[in-house]
Structure 1
């Protein structure tokens, strides 16, 4: 176990995972763990970690999964169960590594899927989760978005932007894009696991999300225990509410967190 610094690396079996930490340490307050999107990293949450720490009194950890940001590169192709492995094999060790005692998961896109899988695992330290633009199964809109991203990457514009954040830009992009577009993964579906989410769950969904439709939210409403789930729709917002509607996203998250963990 390490004592989290404002920035550093966690080492798991020779793999280094970049992290950023703000706010009180886990022994002093609950911890919020941020799980980034499929092309994200610890640095791409913008002002959200600091704002959450200030508004909730919690510590906030953001880390880059293997293959992203300054973390160790990942061997390609990724396994088709890469989200499940992250939730079941990696995330618990990250929590142990920082001395996590209690708190919430906040995930975006792929990170939201990882959070949902982790919540279904029943770790008693995790008191709830907020899912931003989650994926619970493969749908046409997600694949279309991945194809558009591939075209932008191969044209060079997306590659240049990603290179500012990722040490191994090729691994970061190909690992995400090729996994989602792999025909053998077309039947990926974690809807049934949502029935095991026995803690409060908030979904934030942009109404104009190009990577997922209302069907993802309807799946959560069908499978999650009714007394656990709340949904917040954000009109005119796309796939990144934390950037495109920051005040509304922050308010929704802090209200949810305060209800579960109490106020500082």
Structure 2
């Protein structure tokens, strides 16, 4: 049986160091890899064993990193800018690619990380072999806003910030505020992924739970309709906003099939 190895590193970027973890089967050769973008409250550690399972299912290198201000990366000195989804490609991914000598890549993102995967795929169109979004938002609409409003109330309960602090340390309050205040800002009301989707040239697979608390099936349908390349939207039955935890085997199967099709 081929052994799976894992390595960790800190990669310098202009605003601070980024924590990066890589999984690789010993027999893997070649430069193509999968790069994972976490959600608004996420981190490398919160992916749990899912990146390792993707590496085993696809046979590719898998790289996940903590965005600036999250997990084990350096603190972010400011709140997120209105264009933070598109900015991730130039403020972080560019430096990770250079440091790890990444050429061809498949981009995998959960929730807002799915939007970042799309935007990065458009920014690095020649280097992107494919994009997979998981419970991604393609625009701002009522269910997104109401879901975040409910979460803001829930996080006022005792112990909730401490739960985030297990992953983000003293950055936990910043992480929560960055999510809530950015998405509820009036400046974000008209945000969409439309331009990035139209510039995307690689195939894209949009996975979405049929009971997602933060967006209906209109999101994967819009992703598939506007993408400028081969696109497929898959609605996962009896699934909410965390498909990689609720039905990991199905997400792994669809991911492996998509990667094989490339």
With the length of structure 1 as denominator, give the TM-score of the two structures.
0.91
2:235 counterpart residue number: 233
Equivalent pair of 1:18/1:63 in contact (CA under 8 Å):
yes
* Alignment partners' CA distance in 1, 2:16 and 2:164: 21
Contact 1:141 1:211 in 2 (8 A): yes
> What is the deviation of 1:14?
5.5
Paired residue for 1:20? 21
| 8 Å Cα contact 1:136/1:216 also seen in 2 | yes
2:107 aligned residue (82, 105, 108): 105
Task: Give CA-to-partner distance per residue, 1:157-202, whole Å, 9 cap, x none.
Answer: 4312211111210111111111001112111122132111111100
Indicate the SS of the match to 2:155: helix
Give yes or no for the alignment of 1:201 onto 2:201.
no
Unmatched segments (≥5 aa) in structure 1: none
1:1-264 aligned at under 5 Å gives the runs 6-13=7-14, 15-23=16-24, 28-167=30-169, 168-225=171-228, 228-260=230-262
Q: Are the counterparts in 2 of residues 29 and 57 from structure 1 also a CA contact under 8 Å?
A: no
1:114 Cα deviation after fit: 0.5
- Deviation string 1:218-251 (CA, Å, 9 cap, x unpaired) is 32233123x5101221110000100001100010
In 2, Cα distance between equivalents of 1:17 and 1:159: 23
Count of paired positions: 256
Question: Separation in 2 of the partners of 1:11 and 1:105?
Answer: 21
Runs of 4+ in 1 over 4 A off after TM superposition: 24-27
- Give the SS at the match of 1:138: coil
RMSD: 1.9
Q: Distance in 2 between matches of 1:148 and 1:191?
A: 27
1:12 Cα deviation (Å)? 1.1
Secondary structure (helix, strand or coil) at the match of 2:130 reads: strand
Q: What TM-score, normalized to structure 2?
A: 0.92
The question of whether the paired residues in 2 share the 8 Å contact of 1:122 and 1:198 is answered with no
Equivalent position SS for 2:198: helix
Give the distance between the partners of 1:77 and 1:183, measured in 2 at CA: 15
Aligned 8 A contact 1:27 1:99 in 2: no
CA 1:28–1:193: 2 relative to 1, 3 Å: closer
- Report the CA distance between 1:123 and its aligned residue: 3.3
Deviates more, 1:133-142 or 1:23-32: 23-32
Structure 1 residue 136: deviation in Å? 1.3
Which SS does the other structure have where 1:189 is aligned? coil
